[in-house]
Each structure stands twice: as C-alpha cells, then as structure tokens.
Amino acid sequence: MYIAGIGENSIVDGEGWRYVIFFQGCLHKCKECHNPETWKLNVGTKQSVQQIIDNLHKFDDSGFFDITFSGGDPFFQAAEVKELARRLKEEGRNIWAYTGFKFDKFLEYIKDGGVETKSLFIDTDKTIVTEDMIELLHYVDVVVDGRFDINKRTVELPYRGSTNQRLIDVQESLRKKKIVIYNID
C-alpha cells in the first residue's frame, strides 16, 4: 500500500482517540481539498499490512486507539486496505473511513449482484465499484461519504468538511441494504 502519512492522537477524524492512516491516491480531486498532495496514485511510502500494524503497535500496544482510514481515498487501494482492515477488526478496533464515493453507489453494486457497468470517473456520478471495495466495507464501522464541496463547507458538523457529506453506519446499512445514518452519541 502507498501511505501519505500517519496521524497520531487525533480527536477530529472520528469518535474517540484515533490513529489515522492517510492513504495515497485519489481521483476525486475536490476543489480546495485539505490534502491535495495525496492525489497522485502509486507514490508515497510503500508499506505492507504487517509494517502498518507493527508501527501501530509501537505507538499503541494496548488497543486503546481506534483507526481512521483517510487520504487521498482508501477505497482506491481497497484490495490491500481490506486486509489491513480485517486484521485491525480482529484486534477489536473501531474503524472509520473517509471516501469521496457516495455510499449509494456501493449499495447499487450490492443490489445489482456485483455487476458494474459504469465508467471510472467520467463525472462524479459514474464510478467503478469493485468487489474489493465491498469487502473493505465489511470491516468498516462508519464511512464519511461524499466529495468535499467547498460551496457547502462547514465547521458546524462534526467529522465532516461539507454539509453534503454523511456519517453512514456501514454494518446496519449493509444489513438493511439501505443507507442508515450514524448517530453520534
């Protein structure tokens, strides 16, 4: 996997204390993105799942910190990130993921039986959803979905940069095959 950086001790990237992994690569290219240096694919620090877990354990061997996948967009590296998520879930970690993809597209893919016929990023509504992305979702607790929109920027809503972004309860949404908004305690 290509990593852009690590954030330790975050309280703004999800509930509680979080260890944030910023993945490299994003084709959403949101205007006035907070991390435009993460857009390029296949650059950054190449790390294996085991290296990331070892680094996490050096920082937090107690399991106190939960995990946030950010970026870039972790779903562009879903084939590798799903294995990392699986291992972190086995440790009992709560996982949040930020993505510019709309969760609706993931549900469409599931409802259509895994058949994807759309083109990759011709515009914001035409994306390719892959089986790896869906598998990654099975290990994620909350997704903050949707592209950052500078015209809808907010500092009022926790854990989001713009009002169009939603906090999705992933596991409930997958069970019900409809979007279930995550309620902040």
> CATH no. for residue 154?
3.20.20.70
In a domain, 184, yes or no: no
Domain tally for the chain?
Answer: 1
In a domain, 68, yes or no: yes
Q: What's residue 127's pLDDT?
A: 65
For strand 142-145 and strand 95-98, is the pairing parallel, antiparallel, or unpaired?
Answer: parallel
Tokens of 4: 């852009």
The enclosing H or E element of 67 equals strand 66-71
Q: Please state, in angstroms and rounded to a whole number, the distance separating the CA atoms of residues 182 and 142.
A: 7
Tokens of 60: 């937090």
Q: What's residue 115's pLDDT?
A: 61
In a domain, 183, yes or no: no
Three-class secondary structure of residue 117 per DSSP? coil
In a domain, 165, yes or no: yes
In a domain, 125, yes or no: yes
Q: Which of 101, 116, 185 is nearest to 148 (CA)?
A: 101
In a domain, 170, yes or no: yes
Q: Which domain holds residue 117?
A: 2-176
In a domain, 91, yes or no: yes
Question: Is the sign of the CA dihedral 2, 105, 161, 169 positive or negative?
Answer: negative
Q: What is the mean pLDDT of each run of 10 residues along the chain (185 residues)?
A: 96 97 94 92 96 96 94 95 98 97 90 60 58 96 96 96 97 96 91
